[in-house]
Amino acid sequence: MTTFLLEREDFPALLKTLTDAGYQVIAPTVREGAIVYDEIESIAELPIGYHDEQEAAFYRLHPTKDKALFSYVVGPQSWKRFLHPPEVRLWQAKRVEGGMEIVPNTQAVPRYAFVGVRACELHAIAIQDKIFMQGEFVDPIYQARREAALIVAVNCGVAGGTCFCASMHTGPQVTSGFDLALTEVLEDGRHYFVVEVGSDTGKELWKDVPHRKAKPEEAAAAQHIIEHTAAHMGRELDIDGLPEIITRKIESPRWETIAQTCLACANCTMVCPTCFCNTIEDVTDLTGGSAERIRKWDSCFTMDFSYIHGGSVRYSTKARYRQWLTHKLATWVEQFGTLGCVGCGRCITWCPVAIDITAEAAAIRQSDDGKGK
Amino acid sequence: MDTKTLEPILAEHPFFKDLKPEYLSILVGCASNVRFEANEMIFQHGGPADKFYIIRHGEVAIEVHDPRRHVIRIQTLRDGDVFGWSWMFAGRSSHFDARALILTRAIAMDGECLRGKFNNDHSLGYEMMLRFTPVIIRRLEAASMQLLDIYK
Amino acid sequence: MTANPMLPEPFRIRKVQKESYDTFTLELEPLNRPDPFLFKAGQFNMLYVFGVGEVPISISGDPHHPETLIHTTRAVGTVTKAMRQLKTGDVMGIRGPYGTSWPVDRAEGYDVVIVAGGIGLAPLRPSLYHVLEHRDKYGKVVLLYGTRSPDDILFRKELERWRSRFDLEIYVTVDYANPGWRGNVGVVTNLIPKAPFDPLHTMAMICGPEVMMRFTAIELLKRGVEAPNIYLTMERNMKCGIGFCGHCQLGESFICKDGPVFALPEMQERLNQWEV
């Protein structure tokens, strides 16, 4: 496979190429002490020289000694907010003579170029593709945004404290699903990117970016960085036989133990890049002449989520945590052919009470099946 | 009526299916043929509970009174069904009313007589408990479901 | 590009029929669609009341008469209560039909036992229509129907008409009744031991509250009906009907697309787990 070399000083040319091609560049940037994904206009808006320290219920940004562009991992947001927006209008309806008229959402489809997409996130996007585009029904909103989007991936040069992609086989090296993929190298006073082209679109764009072929030693340096990252994961999760084990332990007393701590705050589902659940709000204007339907992210941790006439099916926190974890690490496999977790660690970092999915999965594995003695 | 003629009738009833003939001969001594006209009370709540009944032909309602809702019917029984449990212990009274809805022919088994036979022959008593208990359990399950008011 | 599955289609209410104090039937016809609204017995639609909201409701009409779309529902939530206020001529939105159907084809050559509880008769009525339309393809056909009280019995006139047929056995029972009621009193499961069907050659279809379905399945199994020949229909919260919203998950199943009709072996374990 051919890899190319992009010098650090030519990075702005990459961004310009994307902008010139009509893309809205979305990339990591620092806001309120965290790295978020938003539109950037220049390279200066990237979190240059920042490193993120992550632990369960802990996130801090620290300055680094160098000027690396990507020496951090993932923040509280994921790309799903652009492809499956937190709130989107599905359609509008008007009362007309003799009935009602439904008007589909005609908002322009944004053309995003996502810069800095990590391996775990590519897997998360592939998972949401299955949900919204590869079943019997296709979500036209997701599909339009997804098909218009360009992905510039980045191989992780460091592993975060809550990362466990290596054990989920979802990283840290990007393998597919990108248009361009970069590995950032800083060594011996040099700062460059080793670049892989992953699609025809990527190939076309790449022509306009100043580059040369990477030398074998440069490609090797990049590969070494990825291997180093893989060897320094903050966490691990043993997935061997896990779906069957969790399914069998549905009555395990461990669920009750977790429920003693869990606040059912839904943070884990909001930060999760694969969680897709949503709800509907139908609203009218004051005259009652027009109405619209809004789709919003929802969470299986809310009481209303499972409401049917008479009450909520999962009324206890225990049942709701069990649903979430069981879905991620067991039932997802039968639904979509993969686990629903990509090992990004966000749910661990952003849980206000430090519940750790890797620790809980291990505890469930070890626990009694709760089927009585 | 000669109780001897009841023996084949009992033997045919599913409740006594495969019961040893010698046990059947003992039990028949406690049995009597009864007949209730439409709307006739079979037993009333508060009255002595000293019999259980095996319906041959007819229809029986189990009812309870409530000052606000008057008579509430909680179960109807037909051919082949059995009812009445309070006889198992001496001195109990009925908690419900049982009323024939149409002309009903049944066999009444006398509770005091049965208790006597079971005391004399514990194996017979045990055999009969094995037959009564499933009917009681079924009734309890049905009562629990009614209590849940699942269609609400 | 495929049709947008999120857009409701306008249907006009042709008739509103009160079934009981809280249950009603809507007869609808499409406003724009040239083709009839084909569906399979057991499938459901998402019904939208302008500005109020959308709910999943099973189709209760006859699959052989797709020119009229029929829904029967109870007014228990915001949307269904608003729906009850609608009148002939009003327009509402429909998306569907969605979900799996009753095994009316698999049941050919078998006795058919339909066990309904309360409003559960509505989703089963299309399968009864189908079986009666192709009556010679089936063995005995038995309907066991339980409700809370005689006032809750749905489709009374139709039940009376069916009862006069010689090729259909109907048993109705209520949980409680005043003495004016001439029929059975007791839970619907009580009807199973004596119902006239051959358990070894029976296809059973159950719809009702989950507790009722659980006990009904137990009774059918006791009678000797094989688990794969017992079908039931599950209910969970549903926002989209097409597998996107995640609300209707029950274990690995999405009730909207893997159900609502399931064979018992798919659900047997779930029926005995709480809060799943």
pTM of the predicted protein model: 0.92
pLDDT at B3 over 60: no
The whole-number pLDDT of residue B69 equals 67
User: Which of A179, A197, A230 is a domain's end point?
Assistant: A230
Say if residues C215 and C272 touch (Cβ distance below 8 Å).
no
Q: What is the CATH number of domain B3-146?
A: 2.60.120.10
DSSP string, A3-50: -EEEEGGGHHHHHHHHHHTTPEEEEEEEETTEEEEEE-SSGGGS-TTE
Task: Verify that A162 and A289 share a domain, yes or no.
Answer: no
The sheet that has C9-18: what strands, in order across it? C53-58, C44-49, C91-98, C9-18, C23-30, C69-74
Min Cα separation C71/chain A (Å): 18
Same domain, A68 and A200: yes
- Give the span between the Cα atoms of C255 and C230, in whole angstroms: 17
The answer to whether position A237 is within a domain reads no
Q: Does B150 contact chain C (CB < 8 Å)?
A: yes
- What was the pLDDT predicted at B139? 86
Query: Does C4 sit within 8 Å of A300, measured CB to CB?
Result: no
pLDDT at site B48 = 85
Task: Say if A171 falls within a structural domain.
Answer: yes
- Residue C247, H or E segment: none
- State the total domains in chain A: 2
Dmax (CA) of chain A: 76
CA of C209: how far to CAs of A309, B150, B151, C7, in Å? 11, 6, 7, 30
For residue A311, give its domain range.
242-366
Specify whether A43 is located in the same domain as A151: yes
Residues 6+ apart with CB under 8 A from C210: C234, C235, C271
- Examine the domain organization and report whether A149 and A251 are in the same domain: no
Q: Are C223 and C193 in contact (CB under 8 A)?
A: yes
Within-domain flag for A371: no
Give the CA count within 13 Å in the CB-facing half-sphere of C7. 17
Q: Where are the domains of chain B?
A: 3-146
Q: A264 to chain C nearest CA, in Å?
A: 15
The residues of chain C scoring below 50 in pLDDT are 1
- pLDDT given for residue C87 in this prediction: 96
Which residues of chain C make contact with A288, given a CB cutoff of 8 A? Answer: 51
Per-residue model confidence (pLDDT) at position C178:
87
> With contacts defined as CB-CB under 8 Å, which chain A residues touch C13?
none
CA separation for the pair A355, A257 (Å, rounded): 11
Q: Give me A122's structure tokens.
A: 């590519």
Q: Which of A201, A230, A259 lies at the terminal end of a domain, its last residue?
A: A230
- pLDDT bin (cut points 50, 70, 90) of residue B4 is low
Same domain membership, residue A278 and residue A359: yes
Residues A252, A163, single domain; the answer is no
Same domain? A204 vs A271: no
* Structural domains of chain C sorted by starting position, each given as residue range(s) with its CATH number in brackets: 9-98 (2.40.30.10), 111-233 (3.40.50.80)
Residue A373 forms part of a structural domain: no
Cβ(A159)–Cβ(A106) under 8 Å?
no
**A196 and A323 belong to one structural domain:** no
- Residue B51 above 80 pLDDT? yes
Show which of A230, A265, A298 is a domain's final residue: A230
Question: Would you call C6 and A327 a contact, using CB atoms and an 8 Å cutoff?
Answer: no
Cβ neighbours of C91 (radius 10 Å): 18
Interface test with A, best of C55, C233, C245 (most A CBs within 10 A): C245
User: What tens digit of pLDDT does each residue of B101-143 get?
Assistant: 999 999 999 999 999 999 999 999 999 999 989 888 988 888 8
- The residues pairing with C254 across neighbouring beta strands, listed in sequence order, are C249
Question: Is some CB atom of chain A closer than 8 A to the CB atom of C177?
Answer: no
Of B8 and A13, which is predicted with more confidence?
A: A13
A53 located within any domain: yes
Per-residue pLDDT of chain A (373 residues; tens, 9 = 90+): 789 999 999 999 999 999 999 999 999 999 999 999 999 999 999 999 999 999 999 999 999 999 999 999 999 999 999 999 999 999 999 999 888 999 988 889 999 999 999 999 999 999 999 999 999 999 999 999 999 999 999 999 999 999 999 999 999 999 999 999 999 999 989 999 999 999 999 999 999 999 999 999 999 999 999 999 999 999 999 999 999 999 999 999 999 999 999 999 999 999 999 999 999 999 998 888 899 999 999 999 999 999 999 899 999 999 999 999 999 999 999 999 999 999 999 999 999 999 999 999 999 999 988 776 5
Half-sphere exposure of C254 (CA within 13 A, CB side): 22
C241 contacts chain B (CB < 8 A): no
How many Cβ pairs closer than 8 A exist between chain B and C? 68
C6 touches chain A (CB under 8 A): yes
Q: Band of the pLDDT at B2, cuts 50, 70, 90?
A: low
Say if residue A252 is in the same domain as residue A108: no
ipTM of this complex prediction, to 2 decimal places: 0.93
Collect all residues of chain C within an 8 Å Cβ-Cβ radius of residue A318.
Answer: 275
Supply the pLDDT for residue A372. Answer: 62
Q: Does any domain span residue A304?
A: yes
**Residue A235, domain member (yes or no):** no
Would you state the pLDDT for residue A373?
Answer: 56
With a cut of 90, say whether residue B148 has pLDDT above it: no
- Are A276 and A225 found together in one domain? no
| A327 within a domain of the structure (yes/no) | yes
Tracing tokens 């509970």 back to the chain, one arrives at B49
Return the C-alpha torsion angle A75, A80, A83, A87, nearest 10: -100
pLDDT of residue A371: 72
pLDDT of residue B145: 85
Token pair, residue A57, equals 């219920």
